Amino acid sequence: MKKVSLAILVSLSALTGAAYAQTDNGVMMSTDPAKAADVEQRAQDLQAKQQAMESQPAMPAKHHKKAPHHMKAAKPEAASE
């Protein structure tokens, strides 16, 4: 009996997860030619941008001049008068 109830529980959990995944509106289908052309244009722009970034040589990181850690105290000037 425990095996059957466990199998039912696992099946219901899987079905719940599948149903939850189906409610996501992340991907939509459209037959509008203007929307399709817009999506294709954006994809081409993105692909061209990625290719341009790959073709540029990597910029080396700039090294900053290290500041001295400890400042030496200035020597007091002797009064020349």
Read off the pLDDT of residues 44-61 as tens digits, 9 standing for 90 and up.
999 999 888 887 776 666
* Integer Cα distance of 38 and 30 in angstroms: 12
Contact 48, 41 (CB under 8 A): no
pLDDT at residue 6, as a whole number: 85
pLDDT value, residue 55: 79
Predicted local confidence at residue 1, as pLDDT: 74
Low-confidence ranges of the chain (pLDDT < 70): 19-26, 58-61, 63-64, 67-68, 71, 73-81
pTM: 0.37
